[in-house]
Structure 1
């Protein structure tokens, strides 16, 4: 991916710099190249930026076979050359390629690599081993007794359940079909390939995780509603399409068919609510699993269309590792719960959400497009010279002729079973001097009947800069808990550092001028708008 130096420093590097500031101990090189230079051989990234500018003193390890891959990139002529490029870039440890162990001695003898370079890399590795306690006990992480105490520890499982609860996003809840009250008599049809799916729940990168111990949605619901007045009936309906591991393509031999549709529709007709669990097999996500079509794979949408004909309310629970094109689903189903891959305690966490025992509070950290043609789509875009105005549409503007410009679900979006009202947005001053700060605040009231949590978000926009600025940028957020009817004032401190950007001369500065500010429920919310100026 090519990018300008400004884009690299303003958008991509800040998260890494933040980890350095917090004391991160190691970095791993990426597989990709940056402007033509593979990261594993990129002196600009690892010497100039990471070491010299940021002062990082920890260890850098390659990703799996990343050194040898520089040969395939066309950046190194052979493995020996790749080893030289990597050590010159400041890479300390070679994972799997065996380039260092095979060629470094020879490179030193030929004068292409210095002993000092190797000494520095070795010292960083030994320091890491010392900090990990491996000098005192080389086998401290091969403790079978400790394994028994740690793996599947009840406290750890409790934390896993809570983490999953807090990551599940409620995308739609038409007519308050959710939560499903345990005390109300109701027949619920459980349909879809993810009702009993266990293997995918830990996601693609579970690696050594025991997928057989993950709690399925069915198991979670049965435990949650045991002894309640809710009755579940199950039909799979369809299966998940799989990846053929020999070709790394969608399998053409194990293709989902419609044989289970009739049973699923029959079960649905005899229910009060249809709960459908769908998504992607875990092999469809993660590394080397890109898709050109991001609708629900296989014939899952076809099944939904058949279930829609019953006229019963539909709750769609999604298990997937990427934003999907849910344009049809958003228009036609009553509720959508984005569960992602919630991990080992999946079934329990999702049941906590569906029952209302946990009021959903998560917000999207990715934008959901209306279709794949909108990609790339992100909230902090830059305006064109002819931005589209939905309230005053006109020809020759930057818009799609077959779709709205807006995303299906914007960054920062997420619903709750209660409602929140923002009011009395204020700012301590409409201008502040360079070097000082100001405070923006808003009153947030839980206007519903349930206790809940809300993520209050702060967005800023520099109206005019020496370079074009994004339409808005997230600069802060705070998660608050409010009891039903309770009001809290949320404050954000805005200092000059928040306003800085790389100017036309690539200087990190805050340019005097006018700024817009929003305290919002999502990146699309512009109801609480304030203005201020930075003056010299």
Structure 2
């Protein structure tokens, strides 16, 4: 493979090498046999394109590949890429929802299915998984993230990479994964998308970088740089992190691509005019320039004349620039070779077979049920098929919002609404009169559908709609009310000052509670929302996220017991929107100090009392899970020893249940302040009714290491001997402690 690459490099002209670094959007693409003279066609004819993203058909991909090969003196093919964030044609639950399954086999399975669908349409690379840690619900792209914890995110990075790539990215039905966004894109200073991140090197190394290290170790073939700056240096010019940490520390040897116009935007970051930022990006390790064409425009002159920009502190000789071009081009060609394209430019663009859409729907339905988190259940769920249910709220018949953000190739026509899903499951039609399973769909159906962004106007007032909802509710046995937010209210460029349920939804739930009927609240959303009084007014509360094409069907399965809830929060739900950022791994402070300074507190004066906090890792099921006391094989151990922590978990309930047993730790004496509690392992088990099982965690001293980093280059990972407090339980709050001492 490398001989092919080396041979091509030896024969290529400078212009041909620069052309390989240009990654363009397909736009309208090309039609087979057409002779369009579009800007894209001109670039293809000139051999000035290395890859295309956003192709929408095999015919278009073939036409572009034909034209690229004709314009390439050496017959170098394109590769094709697309945003496949949570499924391709078959849209699965949002990544933040799927992360709540804590089911790594499911993550791998959905990624593999998405890869097969994408590969069947000629795609070679997908811009996923997105593994940005996010602890701020204001940030819109938390919808695409794996949540707040680096261990869970790291395991998801591994599972998704394995699902996309398999053992060979050139294999049938496989694509190259692209880890994104490198790095700390989910830690903006203000919660605003694209904003910069200022954080300690210790936090960067222990929270935001581990998922990338895990994905690289699994063999991820590519990485995408993020738009933000980290500690005052924009990531598209961050040589210490890209060439230094990513390539130098992890050994990553794959391809690094820019984000959309990311190189061009370095000028707005204040790093200089186009020639300067191009040189800085190329030097930092950005191998391909997406859309902006700045490499194409600036590199010929830089390779001829070099660059001296004392005001920007940048100087490169012409030889250095040509060396950087060679380095980037070699990486692009090596990536294409790994994809098998240098042997067969039409790999994946010929006759391909897509996976069964029916099997995809079944997988999506199972994923939706495994991703919805049951937060409260006062004996209401599961419902009996014969129960008279009033299905109320803006999402009762909704299909469009169910796909969620970044479902670029999805179709909302594939969604079965909750109303239809319940009817299909129970055999009762939604429009049946009194006594039917669904009495009616009502309330905000058109007028106030989540901020009014996706619905038609309704001449009726909110008061009139509420009266209608109450009339329907009073004829029912159980009220199921759907609340939440539109898909546009989470995702890129969708940050929110107040990540909370709309006030109209609070009024609706409160009014329905006054009927005295049991109220089941279902939240459809793309981010962790502060639920406020809704949690108190609900007799059962299900956080269903935006669940994809089969999201409502998965919810129906949970409501009527066709599936059992097993999801656990991958994020902390804030008590109030002003509380963010928040996570389970908060650091301790000096106050309040036990027995002293009780006047002083770290909470909020204006946070209402009585609100329910749902912590990271929390979730209920239909089983009755009972935890025995944790036991250690040794209470004192040396650094090279293995220590076993074991406990018995019993399902005392009448139904099969999936339990996620979580292990956390505290390090009460260290050289720096450490989180009061951080996760070090978890295991997911399935227990039949009455079954008990011993769960065993293997501990070693390395799990408790932490970085001491006065700078990135001077970072040192160390571990202190002494006391560790272990916490084991069903979530990050409700745990049992046991102490372990490392002697050395």
TM-score interval w.r.t. the shorter chain?
over 0.9
Note closer, same or farther for the CA distance 1:405–1:432 as it changes in structure 2 (3 Å cut): farther
Note closer, same or farther for the CA distance 1:22–1:334 as it changes in structure 2 (3 Å cut): same
Matched, 1:508 2:508: no
The alpha-carbon deviation at position 491 of structure 1 amounts to 0.4
The alpha-carbon deviation at position 457 of structure 1 amounts to 0.3
| Cα separation, 1, equivalents of 2:276 and 2:299 | 10
Of residues 102-111 and 300-309 in structure 1, the stretch that sits farther from structure 2 once superposed is: 300-309
Matched, 1:444 2:638: no
| Cα separation, 1, equivalents of 2:460 and 2:198 | 39
Matched, 1:74 2:281: no
Note closer, same or farther for the CA distance 1:392–1:354 as it changes in structure 2 (3 Å cut): farther
Note closer, same or farther for the CA distance 1:18–1:387 as it changes in structure 2 (3 Å cut): farther
**1:519 match: secondary structure:** strand
The alpha-carbon deviation at position 255 of structure 1 amounts to 11
Matched, 1:190 2:391: yes
CA contact (8 A) 1:278 1:317 kept: yes
Give per-residue Cα distances to partners, 1:406-460, cap 9 Å, x unaligned: 9711000000011101013100111110122200011000011111010000011
CA contact (8 A) 2:481 2:521 kept: yes
Higher relative contact order, structure no. (Cα contacts within 8 Å, ≥ 6 residues apart): 2
**2:534 match: secondary structure:** helix
**2:470 match: secondary structure:** helix
Give per-residue Cα distances to partners, 1:87-126, cap 9 Å, x unaligned: 0101101111111111111111112352221111112112
Note closer, same or farther for the CA distance 1:513–1:222 as it changes in structure 2 (3 Å cut): same
Which residue does 1:292 correspond to in 2?
497
Note closer, same or farther for the CA distance 1:406–1:50 as it changes in structure 2 (3 Å cut): farther
Which residue does 2:300 correspond to in 1?
105
| Cα separation, 1, equivalents of 2:507 and 2:470 | 12
Note closer, same or farther for the CA distance 1:431–1:146 as it changes in structure 2 (3 Å cut): same
**1:362 match: secondary structure:** coil
| Cα separation, 2, equivalents of 1:429 and 1:503 | 28
**1:206 match: secondary structure:** coil
| Cα separation, 2, equivalents of 1:157 and 1:124 | 38
| Cα separation, 2, equivalents of 1:241 and 1:419 | 35
**2:413 match: secondary structure:** helix
Structure with higher strand content: 1
**1:72 match: secondary structure:** coil
Give per-residue Cα distances to partners, 1:284-305, cap 9 Å, x unaligned: 0011111112221262222222
Of residues 191-200 and 210-219 in structure 1, the stretch that sits farther from structure 2 once superposed is: 210-219
CA contact (8 A) 2:592 2:598 kept: no
| Cα separation, 2, equivalents of 1:393 and 1:481 | 46
The alpha-carbon deviation at position 243 of structure 1 amounts to 7.7
CA contact (8 A) 1:240 1:256 kept: no
CA contact (8 A) 1:31 1:63 kept: yes
The alpha-carbon deviation at position 388 of structure 1 amounts to 6.5
Which residue does 1:310 correspond to in 2?
515
Aligned pair partner of 2:726 in 509, 517, 536: 517
| Cα separation, 2, equivalents of 1:311 and 1:61 | 57
Which residue does 2:224 correspond to in 1?
28
**1:200 match: secondary structure:** helix
Write the mapping of 1:219-230 to structure 2, written as runs, cut at 5 A: 219-226=420-427
Of residues 228-237 and 20-29 in structure 1, the stretch that sits farther from structure 2 once superposed is: 228-237
What is the CA RMSD across the aligned residues, in angstroms? Answer: 2.4
CA contact (8 A) 1:217 1:347 kept: yes
TM-score, normalization: structure 2?
0.67
Which residue does 2:449 correspond to in 1?
240
* Unaligned stretches of 5+ residues in structure 2: 1-196, 308-319, 430-434
**1:205 match: secondary structure:** coil
Aligned pair partner of 1:116 in 306, 323, 326: 323
Which residue does 2:287 correspond to in 1?
92
CA contact (8 A) 2:532 2:611 kept: no
Give per-residue Cα distances to partners, 1:348-402, cap 9 Å, x unaligned: 211111111111001000001110221111111111111376x999212323334
Aligned pair partner of 2:603 in 389, 393, 399: 399
| Cα separation, 2, equivalents of 1:393 and 1:193 | 48
Note closer, same or farther for the CA distance 1:17–1:268 as it changes in structure 2 (3 Å cut): same
The alpha-carbon deviation at position 137 of structure 1 amounts to 3.6
**1:442 match: secondary structure:** strand
TM-score, normalization: structure 1?
0.92
